[in-house]
Structure 1
Amino acid sequence: MLNTAITPFKTKLNSPLTKKGITILQINLGKRCNLACTHCHVEAGPKRTEELSPEICEQLIELIHRFPEIKIVDLTGGAPEMNYGFKPLVEAAKATDKQVIVRSNLTIYFEDGFGDLPEYFAQHQVRVVASMPCYLSDNVDKMRGTGVFDGSIKALQWLNQLGYGKDPSLILDLVYNPQLPTSEKFSLAPEQSNLERDYKVFLQEHFGISFNNLFTITNLPVGRTKMYLERKKLYASYLQYLESHFNSGTVEHLMCRDQLSIDYMGNVYDCDFNQMMNLPAQSYNGETLTAAKFLEAGSLDLISEVQTAAYCYGCTAGCGSSCGGALV
């Protein structure tokens, strides 16, 4: 039999994965979404109802106001725009001169009650990071649902008309992630700058679309991706593949080191993947943390070491992977 053992990620590192100063507050507003993508690590969808409460929203607004070291407020979901507290959080961040990122699926703009979003984003200079796992319609619809590609193209054209991708203050980024594997012929994302060039040429020639950056993100074996890999009996071999491509040069730049990831209940994690796998961040004395505890302490520096797991090999394989794309 093949040896399927995975080296514990902690063992692979020469020293503990320490937390740096916190500059990014990433908030998962909930699991409500108009789509149910096959690769979604959050397992979001139209039937999910979990979302931010008014009480937790107030705590997060207070965190944003109280800590100037937070430079970026990164709003995710589900479709973040569908969940309670979205606009109050955007406005709190803008009032304190922080950059706001919304991780948008684009198609939400065509749902009842959300048609004001592109103009709202432009008015508040929100940075839009949009899922676009391929520039070919068949691949996108296979991963995200029939008609999603056409809706995404219309949304991108709409954003372009408002100045996104052209005006330096209106940043539009796209996110690529590979197709889910059907066999053990695994692959990492292509080289980011080359793929970005291909996307820009294709989308401009065929649809007149401009955007700023392409981020390549590895499929981490978490959420629906993990369930898919387990169904196909590929989970262990995919982890081995990721471990075999471990690149120590990525560790310095890992997103978990300078961010807090907060869920809709106010619990704190080192990253969104740990959040979905229920691996909470821990304080210096091993206590699990909440937004309320940071407010009580009057400090964001309560975590010394990042919590790790086998799926961390996904962020450190090849050129690395993060919410901002390749790491090296």
Structure 2
Amino acid sequence: MQAQYTAVTPFNHKLSSPLTKKGITVLQINLGKRCNLACTHCHVEAGPKRTEELSPEICEQLISVIHKFPEIKIVDLTGGAPEMNYGFKPLVEAARATGKQVIVRSNLTIYFEDGFGDLPEYFAKHQVRIVASLPCYLVDNVDKMRGAGVFDSSVKALQWLNQLGYGKDENLILDLVFNPQLPNGENFSLAPEQSNLEQDYKMFLQEHFDIVFNNLFTITNLPVGRTKMHLERRKLYTSYLQFLELHFNPSTVEHLMCRDELSIDYLGNVYDCDFNQMMNLPAKTRNGETLTVGKLLEAGSLDLISEIRTAAYCYGCTAGSGSSCSGALL
């Protein structure tokens, strides 16, 4: 396995100086791996059989962090299906009570599962920003990546959200996420130009389904989780990393999402980003200790990380126009 990494220039060798944090403004929390879907490209490897989720103790610590640090402007809730995991609504309400924007990364189909039919109205009541996965506007491509029937359920969910004002009311933001199809051969490609693809999405969805939304985010498939497994099974892992390195764009580095966010897992461990979290590469304090939510509270500071930890998959965030949880960087 190590030989695969030696075929690619270490990411930190591409940088003119060590990658460091700016002021922390985003708290991204992965509430757990429980999900009603098991998407082929999922870097979290979430699914219906996973049981890992936030504990009451860690949830209380996170609520304390939300209250204690006014510099946090955005609380970004992800999973799994974040809505299925313990602590979801308490975290939403704590963040909104302190004037922070809440983002939920929703698969849309969860609204049709037993016990979750109140979610669209709940989101509208609390003005939660919805970032929803819709990796294509064509049914076959979506169902291939996310499961049979997912496209139709997603369309119904988007129409439901539109009826509540999402995509129309300035306080009810609805964004969609595009992911490229996973490659089966060395025909690799980066995501299309974001603004052009957004217009294609908007025209198609409005014409065929009367759906409107705010923004489209194009996100590169990083070789992590199930995407990594897919590439390894087809002996494409090394060549995909080389493709990403070939398209490294130094202009993206200033805008990387890891620079102003902390990523928290369901155990309360702190990471520089969600991808490092999935690859078990925890953030380190200036003393070289692994960082936890408890240590943030104890120190009374979010600025305990001296240098962002990097790996070969960081080329995915810096290739072409760049990639982040909020889409292209340039």
Short-chain TM bin: over 0.9
Distance 1:212 1:305 in 2: 34
* Shift of residue 3, structure 1, vs aligned partner: 11
Could you give the per-residue CA deviations for residues 253-292 of structure 1, whole angstroms, max 9, x where no partner exists?
0000000000000000000000000000011111100000
Distance 2:113 2:306 in 1: 43
In structure 1, the residue matched to 2:163 is: 161
Distance 1:4 1:142 in 2: 33
- AA of the residue aligned to 1:157: Q
Indicate yes or no: 2:266 matched with 1:264.
yes
Indicate yes or no: 2:204 matched with 1:202.
yes
In structure 2, the residue matched to 1:52 is: 54
Distance 2:6 2:207 in 1: 46
Distance 1:172 1:260 in 2: 23
* Pick aligned residue for 2:38 from 36, 39, 43: 36
In structure 2, the CA distance between the partners of 1:97 and 1:143, relative to structure 1 (3 Å rule), is same
TM-score by length of 1: 0.99
Could you give the per-residue CA deviations for residues 226-257 of structure 1, whole angstroms, max 9, x where no partner exists?
00000000000000000000000000000000
* Pick aligned residue for 1:122 from 118, 121, 124: 124
Indicate yes or no: 2:136 matched with 1:134.
yes
Distance 1:185 1:17 in 2: 31
* Shift of residue 4, structure 1, vs aligned partner: 6.8
Question: Pairwise mapping of residues 216-227 of structure 1 onto structure 2 (< 5 A)?
Answer: 216-227=218-229
Question: Pairwise mapping of residues 1-328 of structure 1 onto structure 2 (< 5 A)?
Answer: 5-328=7-330
In structure 2, the CA distance between the partners of 1:97 and 1:229, relative to structure 1 (3 Å rule), is same
Which range moves more in the overlay, 12-21 or 98-107? Answer: 12-21
SS of match in other structure, 1:273: helix
Distance 1:304 1:102 in 2: 29
- AA of the residue aligned to 2:189: S
Answer whether contact 2:30 2:77 (CA < 8 A) is retained: yes
Distance 2:306 2:151 in 1: 42
Percent identical among aligned pairs is: 85
Distance 2:303 2:261 in 1: 11
Could you give the per-residue CA deviations for residues 71-124 of structure 1, whole angstroms, max 9, x where no partner exists?
000000000000000000000000000000000000000000000000000000
Could you give the per-residue CA deviations for residues 279-325 of structure 1, whole angstroms, max 9, x where no partner exists?
00011111100000000000001012100000000000000000000
Answer whether contact 1:4 1:237 (CA < 8 A) is retained: no
Answer whether contact 2:5 2:312 (CA < 8 A) is retained: no
Answer whether contact 1:4 1:236 (CA < 8 A) is retained: no
Answer whether contact 1:173 1:211 (CA < 8 A) is retained: yes
Distance 1:128 1:45 in 2: 20
SS of match in other structure, 2:38: coil
The gaps in structure 2 that reach 5 residues or longer are: none
What stretches of structure 1 move > 2 A for 4+ residues in a row? none
